[in-house]
A and B are shown apart, each in its own frame.
Chain A
Amino acid sequence: MKFLDEFQDPRLVKGLLQEIGSLAKRRVTFMEVCGTHTMALNKFGIRAMLPNRVDIISGPGCPVCVTPMNVIDAAIEAADIENVILATFGDMMRVPGSSSSLEAEKALRSDIRVVYSAMDSLGIAEGNPDREVVLLGVGFETTAPSIACTVLGAARKGIDNFKLITANKLIPPAMKALLDAGEVKLDGFICPGHVSTIIGSEPYEFIPREYGIPCVISGFEPVDMLQSILILLRQIDEGRSGVEIQYSRSVKPDGNQIAKRFTSEVFKIVDSDWRGLGKIKASGLALSERFQEYDALKHLGIGLRESAEPPGCLCGEILRGVRSPPECGLYGLRCTPERPVGPCMVSSEGTCAAYYRYSGGARE
């Protein structure tokens, strides 16, 4: 298939791996912060093909994993209301809240529907005028514009039975928080591909500028990821740091202006709670004043409660790249994809799920 197959060419992969082998002179640790990168690394078995001295760790790139438990609890509370239809992206269904999950609540007859696109929830609202349709909006900057379009669509068509639980987050502030915490020594960032098609390269400039760490915006095919690793190694070798775009076929320096405009029209930036990372300044989105009427939690009178992590769950450290899945005492034993305890195991992009799936639950 065009523009996929060529970026999986085994001959290019071989050439890139050879060059990586000769350019990687010392131990380096790169972090990726994108769920799709986590999956791609595992799906193609890339880590095993890299030399030992090149270590790729996974950061908080899975939006499902960083959604705090109390947001899931609030969504469950909303879904339990007689008149409400809760619309959610599929990945949120199995994430454990404090005592239940959307999947379990659906089995118990709450009207919870999986939507593939945010717009679908608007269609459900139009088709059910006497019900309240609440969309659980989880995602990063990639999803925000489509949710913004959905809210604008509701406003334009006068659909007042559509409401939103805004749980969108922003990646660059999380990257800054990780660097400031200083828990892991990083030699480079592999920046998210899809988020960057929206936000461009500028939002990452502060990383080389203030922290001296190289950044590369990478695509998702094996050739993309290996070329990106090579770009980081070259910067290190030449003693420079900057933001480079490897994924040039989809990412422009200023991103997608139209998408950014929709997002800033509907949302404002607020401080936000990240599961496992705590509160991060200016890292989340909330509905702007003009669109307050679409705020589901306010409208339904649901508050966000304090929630505690399940004991023994290391999702927080795993999300910060400080530990790897097999280091968690629950991994593979009490926490498995069939019976997940923490979000890193449930989400298809979660670090633990990807690790488990592609290395067979091994605890070595």
Chain B
Amino acid sequence: MARLIPFKDIRDRLKSLDKRKRKYLSTKAILSVRGILPSKFRRKMERRLEKYGPNTGSADGGDRVIRNARISSLVQDMRRLAAEGTD
């Protein structure tokens, strides 16, 4: 029979985590019942999930990838060398 994990254990486990990760996990848990959350609170939690979730927006604010000829040529070299290395 499944046994509930004591709240104390959950709290201790969360406490041992990095603050950002703790916030991420707790927010994710809250949003698991998003259907019953008030819309304002839900939006707040969604913003918080975005903020603390892994791989969030980069510090430079933009994720545009430049693909000009020089960069493409470097990518070709990298791929070729990586392929040679794995052969």
Question: Are A and B interaction partners?
Answer: no
Q: Which residues of A contact B (CB under 8 A)?
A: none
